[in-house]
Amino acid sequence: MIIAVDGPTASGKGTIAKALAAHFGLPHLDTGMLYRAVGRQCALTGGDADNPNDALAACAFPDSLLEDPELRSEASGGLASRVSVHADVRRALYERQRAFALQPGGGVLDGRDIGTVIAPEADVKLFVVASVPARAERRFREMQNQGRSVSLAEIAADLDLRDQRDRSRAEAPLLAAPDAVLIDTSNLGRDAAIAQAIAVAEAARPC
């Protein structure tokens, strides 16, 4: 079974995807971490995330970089959004994601274009959303718990910018697949959001 979980930053899609993977005993891939690694690698080598050649070169990042805690930072998230607009970068990472989706037994993938580009044949497609204020508050608490200093206003502004960039890019923009089920987590607690997602997946589960 292939489960695609798409949505904007801090909507709760990662939490939902991990819970679905655990519930169904499937492997999970956070595809956003691949783009964060490209952005981080670009910065580490002195490249410009807005330059398509620099971003493409950064796709050759070492696997060990995926374990770097810095990938979870707001800075890496912003870099990921910038490198992801480049068609060559998306093509370079496409096969890696596609192979994960098509492995025997399937898997759970979360990102921004899983149900539309990476695995349009997914058995279950979810599009997870939440208001910017709700998402900013969640990310603010997360950053505080990590000891990172950032203001709520800065986070909200960054989320707005990322949303605009992700939705307006020419290559694989952030949008819900026509057959995706929308889950709005703005006013849902973690357990309620997970329960709703599991119910949708169970109903669509192949016999």
The encoded tokens of residue 150 equal 């950032």
Q: Judge whether 13 and 5 are in contact, CB under 8 Å.
A: yes
Task: Write the pLDDT tens digit of every residue in 107-129.
Answer: 999 998 999 999 999 999 999 99
Q: How many Å apart are CA 1 and CA 69, to the nearest integer?
A: 30
Task: Write the pLDDT tens digit of every residue in 14-39.
Answer: 999 999 999 999 999 999 899 999 99
pTM value?
A: 0.84
Task: Write the pLDDT tens digit of every residue in 155-201.
Answer: 999 899 888 888 888 777 888 999 999 999 999 999 999 999 999 99
CA 180-131-78 angle, 5° bins:
90
Domains of the chain, earliest start first: 2-204 (3.40.50.300)
Instruction: Give me the residue label for tokens 């904007």.
Output: 8
Q: Judge whether 61 and 96 are in contact, CB under 8 Å.
A: no
